[in-house]
Amino acid sequence: METPIDVVIMAAGKGTRMKSALPKVLHRLGGRALLAHVINCAARLSARQAVVIIGHGAMEVEAACARRTGAAGTLDQTIGLKFALQEPQLGTGHAVQQALPLLPDDGVTLVLSGDVPLTQPATLQALLALCGGQRLALLTLELADPTGYGRIVRAQGFGSEPMRAGAAASAQVRAIIEHKDASDAQREIHEIYSGIMAVPTRLLRGWLARLDDKNAQGEYYLTDIVKFAVADGVAVVAHQITDAAQVAGVNSPVQLAELERVYQRRQATALMEQGVRLADPARLDVRGALLCGQDVEIDVNCLFEGRVSLGDRVRIGANCVIANASIAAGAVILPFTHIEGEALGVQIGEGALVGPFSRLRPGASLGAEVHIGNFVEVKNSTLAKGAKANHLAYLGDATVGERVNYGAGSITANYDGANKHRTVIEADVHIGSNCVLVAPVTIGAGGTVGAGSTISKNTPAGALSLARGKQVSLEGWTRPVKKAKV
């Protein structure tokens, strides 16, 4: 039987270098909290539970996790979340000690950090496999500049000359020595501890009880359990990876921005591997989930947020911002279009043409082959197949029938200052330019509304409806002239 996995996520630290009032682990990467990335990764490992060690900003962090859709971002999968308060923060060993009452002895504890967002589940699977429910498994990495990190001290290298990488990686791990406690010779070691380990919980419990704070930082180091494992004859194994981004932590805005770029590049690569054609993978940002069909093309500087799906052959022009929308096959979104679906979402039908410079707001639902042009705003409105609003218009709380043509400059006056009302425009209606449709109002099928009309009463089907001042022309009229000054 597989050993159950319990994940411990250390997130009690202050994050002073972020210089922010927001707890560090709630800062966002790819649109979701750093901590949400770590929790998601744990969920993908089918861990039995995740215990988050909280301290600085504990209430805020716990509340964000409880919201799930809030600052912590949505989770892809569900996982049992628990919290353990660490107050004061006396080191990483002390942090894990706080979780112990929540960790059953039959499991393996996987230690992660809430500020390390890009670890791949496959990497952790490999580490867990190496642990095998009985060994102490460390995730390690060779760094050109290992300053500040805990060094992996191996058998032949202990206190003597460092060895070549290949030779070192095969020798027995004896200890992890923190940078501040390391001798000059140990500081020459380039293999570092990533901060991630997998350890059988019953062994961890015994080792944590033996920690002390007699070291350069006066802290309880989790890393000291390595020497106890060695003393107890428990095998210590290292899983060395080469991809530094997977174990990189966020300590400052600069590091956050660097990891954001790594994350975005990875998403762009994954999309291209699925066949999506990106004009420039460096000029795409996905903050959420972007699902694409076949032969999708995305031009430069596009931002996708929340859940966005693009059907086959969809083309997105340059500089579009698209959030929470579903765009059906063959639709084309021209440059500078802003789509903000929020909770209600935005639906765009097959072959629709939107933009440039269009704005679709929550609840906009466009049928097949609908055209929405420049400076047209659509909110909470349904447009049936083939309807068009091509220029400078507003459709709010409207139901628009098939083949309706909605003229330039026309608006639905949907708000009376207190309540919103609906406008119904039946099929084949032609609304002239610069009309005001004062809701609630229905324009009967096949009708025409003359340009410049303010329509406040329902109009019959098939009629021409006009509601504007009659045109008057005074023939031979002479303009007033300026009086001569005396």
Q: What residue ranges bind ligand UD1 (CB under 6 A)?
A: 10-13, 53, 55, 86, 89-92, 94-95, 113-115, 149-150, 176, 178, 192-195, 221-223, 249
Q: How far is the CB of 217 from ligand UD1 (least distance, A)?
A: 8
Q: Which is nearer to ligand UD1, 86 or 410 (CB)?
A: 86
Q: Which is nearer to ligand UD1, 92 or 414 (CB)?
A: 92
Phi-psi label, residue 315: left if phi above 0, alpha if psi -120 to 50, beta otherwise: beta
What is the crossing angle of helices 58-67 and 34-44, to 10°? 50
Q: How far is the CB of 33 from ligand UD1 (least distance, A)?
A: 13
Backbone φ, ψ for residue 229 (5° rounding): -60, -45
Q: How far is the CB of 3 from ligand UD1 (least distance, A)?
A: 23
Q: Which is nearer to ligand UD1, 191 or 426 (CB)?
A: 191
35/32 Cα distance (integer angstroms): 8
Residue type, 342: E
State the residue for tokens 């400059």.
Answer: 409
Q: How far is the CB of 52 from ligand UD1 (least distance, A)?
A: 9
44/76 Cα distance (integer angstroms): 8
Q: Which is nearer to ligand UD1, 6 or 178 (CB)?
A: 178
Using alpha carbons only, give the angle 84, 42, 56 rounded to the nearest 5 degrees: 35
Query: Is the torsion defined by CA of 362, 274, 120, 186 positive or negative?
Result: negative
Q: How far is the CB of 220 from ligand UD1 (least distance, A)?
A: 8
Residue type, 145: D
Residue type, 372: I
**430 catalytic, yes or no?**
no
Q: Which is nearer to ligand UD1, 86 or 347 (CB)?
A: 86
The one catalytic residue in 190, 391, 421, 430 is 391
Q: Which is nearer to ligand UD1, 16 or 294 (CB)?
A: 16
Q: How far is the CB of 25 from ligand UD1 (least distance, A)?
A: 7
Active centre residues (catalytic): 391
